[in-house]
């Protein structure tokens, strides 16, 4: 009953906040690669269609910004590889499934866990590429979410992942703050507390506090999450010590970076502890109280 109510709330949000959501699926890169894979002798026009596609141009721009080698010739070798051709049918089937995802609904699901005034504008690029990673690019100017086209990922899992990433974009859009008037150590602690945003995104992607964050995932991912969430009490103390060490100048800047990033893991304490805290607040006080606290790390902890 509660799950139906949450779905209805997302439906209403998608109508009421249509102007706040602009999420577009851009599949031209993947379409161009699949077209080449479907023909025995791709023409120069086929290659130009790929290399001029919006998805490829932005993917290349991102890789070059990371100082990584990414040339048309290298990508051509990847597309013509035997391994990729063997998966062409699965890739085509997966892309077709992902195209059925409702972008407005996904955007509304993310917006349902953001404060008033949040906007979600982004382009989604399912891409066929050598690296299997997914990432956000140019979030401050022209937000793009690149998702590796994975045949093992269903449409439902794709929507879950997309909602998670869109929540990050909306969060950064609405939760702006200026901590420059605070002491350096306080700025650092508050900055790292924003890592709990991963847990908030998990809650948004699930669709509610009573829905398992990995309801659309495989058994392995679900079991890993359940195991890690069970460590909530000890992980909470570990994070508390981390924040106190920062505030009391007990660790160096390098140690702060190393420890802070270690809490990401596959889906480490930033995810599990952040999710558990957010769920506890929503179940105890309601979603409005949660949304009123998420932009202020100290308020979130106090709540």
Q: Indicate whether 251 and 130 sit together in one domain.
A: no
Q: In whole angstroms, what is the distance from residue 150 CA to residue 132 CA?
A: 8
pLDDT of residue 11: 52
Structural domain of 197:
184-302
Is there a domain that residue 70 lies in?
Answer: yes
Residue 129 lies in a domain: yes
Q: Is 142 in the same domain as 207?
A: no
Of the candidate ranges 18-27, 238-247, 253-262, 280-289, the one whose mean pLDDT is the lowest: 18-27
Is residue 179 in some structural domain? no
- Looking at the fold, whether 161 and 42 belong to one and the same domain comes out as yes
- Residue where a domain terminates, one of 147, 174, 201: 174
Same domain, 53 and 163: yes
2 pLDDT tier (thresholds 50, 70, 90): very low
Residue 232, in any domain of the structure: yes
- Burial letters for 248-270: b for 16+ Cβ neighbours within 10 Å, e otherwise? eeeeeeeebeebbeebeeebbbb
Q: Are residues 58 and 206 in the same domain?
A: no
Over residues 171-186, the mean pLDDT reads 90
Q: Answer yes or no: do 159 and 265 share one domain.
A: no
CA angle, 10 then 155 then 34, to 5°? 135
- Given a cut of 70, is residue 13 above it in pLDDT? no
277 closest CA partner among 196, 182, 186, 162: 196
Per-residue CA distances from 77 to 33, 80, 130 (Å): 12, 5, 10
* Structural domain count of the chain: 2
Answer yes or no: do 160 and 248 share one domain. no
| Same domain for 148 and 62 | yes
Q: 254 with 232, same domain?
A: yes
pLDDT value at 9 more than 90: no
On the question of pLDDT at 57 being above 90, the answer is yes
Cα–Cα distance for residue pair 99/92, rounded to 1 Å: 11
Percent of the chain with pLDDT over 70: 94
DSSP 196: G
271 occurs within a structural domain: yes
**Residue 235 CA to chain centroid, in angstroms?**
22
Q: What is the pLDDT of residue 210?
A: 97
Contact residues for 189 (Cβ-Cβ < 8 A; gap 6+): 243, 246, 247
Task: Report percent pLDDT > 90 for the chain.
Answer: 88
CA 85 – CA 220 distance, rounded (Å)? 28
Domain annotation covers residue 264? yes
Closest CA to 161 of 196, 213, 211: 213
Taking CB atoms within 8 Å and a gap of at least 24, the contacts of 188-191 are: 188/246, 188/256, 189/243, 189/246, 189/247, 190/297, 190/298
23 has which bridge partners? 122
162, 188: one domain? no
Strand partners, 146: 125, 135
Using pLDDT thresholds of 50, 70 and 90, give the confidence band for residue 20. confident
> What is the spatial order of strands in the sheet that 135-137 belongs to?
21-25, 120-127, 144-148, 135-137
Q: 25 and 137: one domain?
A: yes
Q: What is the pLDDT of residues 251-270, one digit of tens each?
A: 999 999 999 999 999 999 99
Distances (CA, A) of 39 to 33, 46, 72, 285: 10, 10, 19, 58
| Neighbour-count burial of 93, counting CB atoms closer than 10 A to its CB (0-12 exposed, 13-18 middle, 19+ buried) | exposed
- Let me know if residue 290 belongs to a domain: yes
How do 144-148 and 120-127 pair as beta strands?
Answer: parallel
Q: Among the three residues 113, 142, 174, which one is the final residue of a domain in this structure? A: 174
8 falls in which pLDDT band (50, 70, 90)? low
Q: Is the pLDDT of residue 14 over 50?
A: no
User: Would you say residue 250 lies in a domain?
Assistant: yes
Q: What does the alpha-carbon distance between residue 145 and residue 202 come to, in Å, rounded to a whole number?
A: 17
How many CB atoms lie under 10 A from the CB of residue 190? 17
Last residue of a domain, one of 155, 174, 193: 174
* pLDDT (mean) for 105-115: 95
| Residues 22, 116 within the same domain | yes
**Beta bridge mates, 11:** none
118 within 8 A of 111, measured Cβ to Cβ: yes
* Mean of per-residue pLDDT scores for the chain: 92
């Amino acid at each position: 009953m509660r799950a139906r109510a949450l779905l209805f709330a997302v439906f209403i949000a998608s109508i009421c906040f249509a102007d706040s959501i602009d999420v577009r699926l851009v599949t031209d890169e993947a379409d161009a690669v699949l077209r080449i894979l479907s023909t025995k002798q791709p023409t120069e026009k086929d290659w130009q269609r790929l290399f001029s596609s919006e998805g490829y141009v932005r993917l290349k721009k991102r890789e070059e910004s990371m100082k990584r080698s990414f040339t048309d010739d290298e990508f051509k070798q990847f597309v013509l590889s035997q391994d990729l051709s063997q998966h062409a049918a699965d890739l085509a089937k997966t892309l077709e499934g992902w195209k059925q995802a409702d972008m407005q609904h996904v955007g509304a699901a993310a917006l349902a866990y953001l404060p008033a005034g949040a906007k979600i504008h982004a382009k989604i690029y399912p891409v066929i590429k050598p690296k299997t990673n997914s990432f956000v690019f140019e979030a401050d100017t022209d937000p793009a979410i690149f998702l590796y086209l994975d045949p093992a990922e269903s449409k439902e899992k794709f929507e879950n992942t997309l909602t998670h990433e869109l929540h990050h974009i909306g969060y950064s859009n609405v939760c702006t703050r200026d901590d420059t008037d605070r002491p350096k150590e306080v700025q650092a602690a508050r900055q790292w507390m924003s890592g709990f945003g991963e847990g908030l995104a998990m809650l948004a992607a699930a669709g509610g506090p009573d829905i398992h964050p990995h309801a659309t995932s495989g058994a392995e991912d679900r079991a890993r999450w359940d195991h890690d969430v069970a460590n909530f009490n000890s992980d909470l103390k570990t994070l508390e010590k981390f924040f106190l060490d920062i505030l009391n100048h007990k660790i160096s800047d390098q140690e702060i970076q190393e420890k802070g990033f270690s809490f990401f893991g596959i889906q480490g304490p930033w995810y599990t502890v952040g999710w558990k805290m957010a769920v506890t607040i929503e179940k105890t006080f309601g979603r409005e109280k949660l949304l009123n606290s998420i932009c202020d790390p100290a308020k979130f902890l106090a709540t």
